[in-house]
Amino acid sequence: MKTEHLEIYDHDSDVDITHKINTSELGNWINHVKYIQKELDNITGIYNAVSQKVEADDVLDKLSKKQAENQILLNALNKYVLLRSNLIECDDMQCDMVYITEHESYRRSYLYHIDKYRRLKDEVFSVIHTKLTL
């Protein structure tokens, strides 16, 4: 999804404005999650370059798991983009609220994913730092 700036007009209702902001936000999430996938590849490469090869490596397992989780979230967000295309068919507040509530659910999932990713990234960089200073 290409992040686009959606124009907000004076005649837009509060619900229309909310939908436009949510659409823009969703585009930003997708771009961020795509970037995280590239970053995870780079972090894995850096970790491999500085770590001693051992059979079982907990850090590599965590990175691999996070890559899988990241892909799952990206797939879900891309499917959500398609579901939001039906938004224009809403003709009452109840329908709009379904979309707004669903967006909040995706927001929580995205923020949870980002928090877990940042913690893992901090952990990996700490391990790398320790290995490089030894």
Q: What is the pLDDT of residues 37-81, one digit of tens each?
A: 999 999 999 999 988 765 568 999 999 999 999 999 999 999 999
Average pLDDT, the chain: 90
CA distance to 10, 118, 121, per residue, from 51 (Å) = 57, 20, 15
CA distance to 6, 81, 83, 134, per residue, from 17 (Å) = 9, 17, 18, 54
Q: Which residues contact 60 (CB under 8 A, 6 or more apart)?
A: 44, 47, 48, 51
Please compute, for residue 132, the number of CA atoms within 13 A of its CA located in the half-sphere on the CB side: 11
Mean pLDDT, residues 91-119: 96
Q: What is the pLDDT of residues 47-56, one digit of tens each?
A: 999 887 655 6
Q: What is the pLDDT of residues 5-31, one digit of tens each?
A: 578 787 878 888 888 889 999 999 999
Please indicate, yes or no, whether the overall pTM of this predicted structure exceeds 0.75: yes
Say whether pLDDT at 4 is over 70.
no
